Copies of this chain bind each other. A is one copy, B any other.
Amino acid sequence: MASSIRSNCRKIVAIGRNYADHIKELNNAAPKQPFFFLKPPSSILLPGQGPILRPSGVSLHYEVELGLVMGKGLRNLDPQDEETALSSIGGYLVSIDMTARNVQDEAKKKGLPWSIAKGFDTFLPVSSYIPKAKIPNPHKADLWLSLNDQLRQNDSTELMIFRIPRILSDISRVMSLEPGDIVLTGTPKGVGEVKTGDKLKAGIRVDGKDINEGAIDVT
């Protein structure tokens, strides 16, 4: 099942700046509407297939995110149509949106695309596929990430600035979503740098309990 996450995926659309405290920590402006970027399917790192590759000269940062795996296609979704939005989700995964922060900062300064900073092979470690029923409300779960067993990110998905129906609407009005596509919903505060050999763990809790399928454990 895990390998089908990668083989079924034709695009990964990632929302930027979707948790207020994370926007502050990077000194970014809060967006008036969701903005997003693409990561290539070739960046997916399946469970057990680590380590994360560290390109030389790169300052590598982690960003834990809730991923939506599309079960149905979506195009031009009405932002009010919460029912269609939620029913288009096939399942979930936990992911780490690895970012070459220095490359991204340079790109921002020059007005260049983010694709290189976000797109290296192994830059999207994912958990196993989480069946939809395990997360009854995707706006009510706790995402966490630890670095060398120290908790660094730990926040509720209810802190999302733009909620899932709005995100899916905005994306689908630009680019059609197809079954198997992955949508990353943004990262809470606490992002930081990873050094060679650092151990990353991440997961998601519902009602205070970790979901087995949502575990990431990667170096």
Q: Which of B42, B75, B120 contacts A121 (CB 8 A)?
A: B75
Q: Which of B38, B55, B107, B109 contacts A40 (CB 8 A)?
A: B38
- If A38-B38, A38-B119, A40-B38 touch, does A109 touch B112 (CB 8 Å cutoff)? no
- If A175-B120, A176-B121 touch, does A113 touch B40 (CB 8 Å cutoff)? no
Interface residues on A, range: 35 or more
Most buried by B among A114, A115, A116: A115
Most buried by B among A16, A41, A111, A114: A111
- In the docked arrangement, what's the CA distance between A43 and B36, Å? 15
Query: What 17 new A-B contacts, CB under 8 Å, besides A55-B174, A119-B175, A121-B174?
Result: A10-B40, A11-B41, A13-B115, A16-B112, A29-B110, A36-B113, A37-B113, A38-B38, A38-B40, A38-B115, A40-B175, A42-B177, A108-B112, A109-B111, A114-B114, A114-B115, A120-B174
Which positions 47-103 of chain A face chain B at CB distance < 8 Å? 55, 75
